[in-house]
């Protein structure tokens, strides 16, 4: 399980997060492929619940 916080202007932002370990898909073959792709690249995907405002600052974790 991934625990995360995301904020814009100091306000919490609704979002979802998934990685190789947590990605799920009703199609088992697609799930296996998705997990393989995410894992091979060390990717964690963060999707905001609502569009970000144009011109807002973004930061990437290192």
pTM for this prediction? 0.72
Q: What is the pLDDT of residue 9?
A: 79
Tell me the CA distances in angstroms from 21 to 9, 12, 57, one per residue in order: 30, 25, 29
List the end-to-end C-alpha distance of the chain, in Å, as a whole number.
Answer: 19
Of residues 21 and 52, more confidence is placed in 21
Q: Above 90 in pLDDT, residue 7?
A: no
Statement: residue 57 has pLDDT above 80? no
Residue 60 confidence (pLDDT): 60
pLDDT digits (tens, 9 = 90+) for 12-50: 889 999 999 999 999 999 999 999 999 999 999 999 998
């Amino acid at each position: 399980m991934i625990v995360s916080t995301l904020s814009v202007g100091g306000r919490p932002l609704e979002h979802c997060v998934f990685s190789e370990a947590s990605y799920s898909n009703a199609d088992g073959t697609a799930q296996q492929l998705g997990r393989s792709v995410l894992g091979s690249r060390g990717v964690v995907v963060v999707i905001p619940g609502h569009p970000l405002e144009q011109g807002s600052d973004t930061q990437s974790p290192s």
